[in-house]
Every structure is written in C-alpha cells, then in structure tokens.
Amino acid sequence: MNLRMKTTLNIDDSVMQRLREEAARRGTSMSALVEAGLRHVLAPEVVPANMTDDPPPLPSWRGGPELVDISDRDALYRAMEEEG
C-alpha cells in the first residue's frame, strides 16, 4: 500500500525557485523531486565491504641520503637545475 501525506514546509524563496527550475528541467513535479532528495538524505549510509575502521598503512621506501638541504633555497634550486 502506497500512502501519501500532504504537509506544509517552510522553504527559502531562493531554494524554492531552484526547485521549480530543476523540476521543470527534469520534467517532474516539485513533490517528486523533494521526495527523491529526502529519500537520498535519509537512506542508510552504505560502507563498501573492503572499508575497515583503520586505513591501510602508507607505503614507505628507502630513498637514500638527502642530496640537498631543502631549507637552503639556493642549494635546492641548483639541484633541480642540475637534474633538468
């Protein structure tokens, strides 16, 4: 059984205008668009099965010793120019 309830909502004028325009653009009623939006907002959050509470560890690698002190701007620029 599909029951419908009439109700009154207070909606900001600018939002209402956008709702009218979007409903017209989609060729649907404002009621249908509001209901679809509410269903979207109220839907249970779906968490992918592969998501866990803890993210996987970030990759790490050994890059060797530093070639330049990055706090020395001139040395950093020289090192970048030598590579290019």
Distance CA 64, CA 2 (A): 68
Q: Is residue 20 part of a domain?
A: yes
In this predicted structure, what is the pLDDT of residue 65? 83
Q: Which domain holds residue 27?
A: 11-47
In this predicted structure, what is the pLDDT of residue 38? 93
In this predicted structure, what is the pLDDT of residue 1? 65
State how far Cα 4 lies from the chain centre.
Answer: 32
Under the banding of pLDDT at 50, 70 and 90, the label for residue 76 is confident
Q: Is residue 61 part of a domain?
A: no
Q: Is residue 73 part of a domain?
A: no
Q: How does DSSP classify residue 8?
A: -
Token output for 2: 């599909």
Tell me how many domains the chain contains.
1
Mean pLDDT (the chain, rounded): 87
Q: What would the pLDDT profile of 2-23 be if each residue is shown by its tens digit?
A: 788 888 999 999 999 999 999 9
